Structure 1
Amino acid sequence: MQDIAAAQSEIQASVHETKIKPNDLLTIVVSADDPTAAAPFNLPITPTYTPNGPQINTVQQLQTYLVNDQGNISFPVLGTINIAGKERNEAVELLEERLKEYIKNPIVNLRIVNYNISVLGEVAKPGNFTVQDEKVTVLEALSLAGDLTIYGKRNNILVVRNQGDSTKVNYRIDLTNSDFMKSPAFYLQQNDIVYVEPNRAQVQSSTYNRNTPVYISIASVLISLIVLITR
């Protein structure tokens, strides 16, 4: 981001909208003017039990819809609905339009609950992270992982994205150039993988044998003994 100040006036905020993909887990809550009329279109709430010392905590949890490989969900009363590939707002509009046949003024609240991203490589805390608000930039992802280490390449960060049908798309991001904010990978999508490559110094150090000082010490001792014996 070395030229971020000069480029600030030229960079426009990207419009980000999450698209639903196969294997996504969704919570969908339907409400209406008449709660009784909306009830058949909601999955039952199930209790989840977690131990807490001598007591057991009970949490009411919404059941989820799984988007299958064909991009469909099985919705109460409405049946099979193809939803993959649609933006979240498009999916909400589709469901509300179908629900208008049965109830008045339906309101649909849809969320992706398995919105995960993975950050690997030269970061302080690599791992898999769940994003609550369905909107995360590559900078926010790196901050979740504790930022890059001093050995991470800042000009060649890899973002691997699954486009469906097992197709992988790779993006390269250069954090030293503000143009990365215009990249399709600036806003991450669910199940994206961010990989920070090690720089040359770290790669070279990985070939260094940590036992070398021990071997040198042993050799020095042996040489000293040989010199003493042969005198």
Structure 2
Amino acid sequence: MTLRSLFILGFSMILFGACKSYQKVPYFQDLHANSELAELTINNEYLHLQAGDKLNIAVSSSLTPEQAAQYNLPIQAARIGATGVYYGAQSSMPYYIDSKGNIDFPGVGKIRAAGYTREELADQIKKTLINNKLLNDAVVTVEVMNMFVNVIGEVNRPGRVTIDKDQITILEALSQCGDLTILGERQNVLVLRREGNTQKAYRVDLSNAQSVYSSPVYQLKQNDVVYVQPNITKQRQSTPWSNSWQNPSIYLSMTSVMVSVAVLISNLLKK
């Protein structure tokens, strides 16, 4: 093997290793310049309420505001001081969805909440108040107070992500955590979701747009867990010398040694 061949071989090994690593980093590699996301099957679903959700339900009425106030579960914090009792600002107690999926609403009783969106539950409560002739012009708003997902693993800021609207995608959750680190495995993101009495696992390939947008976990649900596992480079850091072979400088050094040995042998043979 000539010196030139040795040099070309070593340089090719370095380039191959670098290109192979780069291909695992970018997102949406299947999208081209003229790709249209409208052509993809996008899971576009609103979040539905579940047992255990804590709700803030506000009921108002312009005709009978004092009658509407009874549905807001008022609570007022009291503080005992040296000269008496002081009362703080009045707030509302939350409604809790019980294990059967219902809330206990004053003057009405059990109302089904689980399975509805916030807007659907508000409409259901409004119809119930009007049909029972409790409030003729009820205005109802529903807010979820404890809706979140957990993002762990190889992201820059792992932790709990609060859901403050009716939808949150896996991309939004990851962006709120500062995106994946360079050591995160983009082709195999795990999402754990509780469905009934079972825990189901889904896999998402962030390098493939079709995999992301058509996934049943593209729209996350409350209490989902998103886990970004470490890539092979990070996994190899757990053992000594394991990442050395991933470093291009190793191959450059090996090529340099091979060239030096070849030059030495060539000079000896000429003598």
SS in structure 2 of the partner of residue 36 of structure 1: helix
Rounded to whole Å, the distance in 1 between the matches of 2:90 and 2:235 is: 49
CA shift at 1:10, angstroms? 0.7
Q: Which residue, out of 198, 206, 229, partners 1:197? A: 229
Aligned counterpart, 2:31: 4
Query: How far apart, in 1, do the equivalents of 2:57 and 2:137 lie?
Result: 16
Partner of 1:225: none
Q: Given the two structures, how large is their TM-score scaled by the length of structure 1?
A: 0.79
Question: 2: distance between equivalents of 1:168 and 1:48?
Answer: 43
Residue 27 of structure 1 aligns with an amino acid whose one-letter code is N
* Residue pairs, 1:96-115, within 5 angstroms: 96-100=126-130, 101=132, 102-115=134-147
Shift in Å at residue 4 of structure 1? 3.2
Higher relative contact order by CA 8 Å / sep ≥ 6: 1 or 2?
Answer: 2
SS across alignment from 1:140: helix
1:190 is matched by which residue type in structure 2?
A: Q
* C-alpha distance in 2 between matches for 1:145 and 1:177: 21
Contact (CA 8 Å) 1:42, 1:76: kept in 2 or not? Answer: no
Instruction: Please give the alpha-carbon distance, in whole angstroms, between the structure 1 residues aligned to 2:38 and 2:205.
Output: 19
Question: Which of 2, 23, 27 pairs up with 2:52?
Answer: 23
Specify the code of the residue in structure 1 equivalent to 2:184: G
Distance 1:60 1:169 in 2: 42
Instruction: Return the match for 2:74 from 39, 44, 47.
Output: 44
Task: Say if 2:179 is the partner of 1:135.
Answer: no
Shift of 1:59: 5.7
Cα deviation for residue 47 of structure 1 reads 4.0
Alpha-carbon RMSD across the aligned residues, in angstroms, is: 2.1
On the 8 A contact 2:55/2:94 being kept in 1, the answer is yes
Matched, 1:172 2:199: no
CA contact (8 A) 1:122 1:148 kept: yes
In structure 2, C-alpha distance between the alignment counterparts of 1:16 and 1:156, rounded to whole Å: 23
Counterpart check, 1:67 vs 2:97? yes
- SS at 1:105 equivalent: coil
**Is the Cα contact below 8 Å between 2:72 and 2:92 reproduced in 1?**
no
Q: 1:8 and 1:44 mapped to 2: Cα distance?
A: 47
Larger Rg: 2
> Which residue in 2 is equivalent to 1:87?
117
1:149 aligns to what? 181
Q: CA deviation at 1:12?
A: 5.8
Do the aligned partners of residues 134 and 9 (structure 1) sit closer, same or farther apart at CA in structure 2, a change above 3 Å counting? closer
Cα 1:44–1:11 shift into 2, 3 Å: same
Alpha-carbon distance between aligned partners in 1 of 2:202 and 2:189, rounded to the nearest angstrom? 8
Unaligned regions of 5+ residues in structure 2, if any? 1-27, 80-87, 242-271
Could you say what secondary structure the match of 1:187 adopts?
A: coil
Cα distance in 2 for residues equivalent to 1:159 and 1:196 = 9
Structure with the higher fraction of residues in helix conformation:
2
Deviation at 1:7, TM superposition (A): 4.3
**Structure 1 residues 2-52: Cα deviation after superposition (integer angstroms, max 9, x where no partner):** 233424241365432111101111110111232122122221043499xxx
Unpaired segments of 5 or more residues in structure 1? 50-57, 210-231
SS at match of 1:188: coil
Q: Which residue of 2 aligns with 1:53?
A: none
TM-score by length of 2: 0.68
Q: What amino acid is aligned across from residue 3 of structure 1 in structure 2?
A: D
Moved over 4 A (4+): none
- State whether structure 2 residue 163 is matched by structure 1 residue 122: no
